[in-house]
Amino acid sequence: MQTAIAAYIIGSIPTAFIVGKCIYNTDIRTQGSGNVGTMNARLVLGWIPAILVLVVDVLKGWAAVYLAGWAGSDVMPAAFMAVLGHIYPVWLKFKGGKGLATALGTLIAAGQLPVVLPFLIGFALSYPLLRDGDKSNLLGILAAGIFSIYSGKDLFLLLLLLVISIRHLTVIIQNT
C-alpha cells in the first residue's frame, strides 16, 4: 500500500506544468490544448522543453516501479498508480497529462517492453491515415491491450492501458 501511494505521488509530479511555470513563466494549462504533458509542452514551449518533459515523465514512471521492486512489492500496481498520478495529479485538481510517457517508464522498469511493440505498430500504421496523434495513440493502446490479453499479462497492465484509453477518449471527444 505504501509503495502504491509513493508511486502515485511520484507519478503526479506535473513536469510540464513545472517546466512551463518555473523556466518560461507560462501556465501551459491555459495555452495550446491545455493538457499537462509532452505534446502540449512542445506546442506551447518548443521542442527542447518538450524533450525535457518527456524524459522526466519517463523517468518518474521508471522510478515509481523501481522503488516498488526495491521495496519487494508487486511492481504492476505501482506502475498503474504512477500513471494514474500523472493523469490525475492531486496538485493540479486531478487534471494532468495523458499518461503515455509515464507508462513507457513503468513498462521499461517492469520488464514489459514487449507490450510497447504492438503499441508502436498500431500507432505507426494508423497515424499516416488519421493524422491525429490522440486517435493513433488510442489504436496503439488497443493493439497493446489485445497483445496483453492474448499473452496473459498482468491485470494491472490492462488497467493501466484502460485508464490511458479513457483519458485519450476524453480528449478526442472534447476536440470533436
Residues 128-156 have a mean pLDDT of: 90
Q: How confident is the model at residue 25 (pLDDT cuts 50, 70, 90)?
A: very high
Residue 160 has pLDDT above 90, yes or no: no
Cα distance between residue 65 and residue 70, in whole Å? 9
- Give per-residue pLDDT as tens, 103-123: 999 999 999 889 999 999 999
**pLDDT score of 29:** 95
Residue 153 has pLDDT above 80, yes or no: no
**pLDDT score of 174:** 86
Average pLDDT over the chain reads: 93
For residues 62 and 173, the model is more confident at 62
Give domain limits for the chain: 2-174
Cα distance between residue 30 and residue 111, in whole Å? 37
* Cell of residue 143, nine digits: 493493439
Query: Out of 35-39, 58-62, 144-148, 153-157, which region has the weakest mean confidence (pLDDT)?
Result: 153-157
Q: How confident is the model at residue 158 (pLDDT cuts 50, 70, 90)?
A: confident
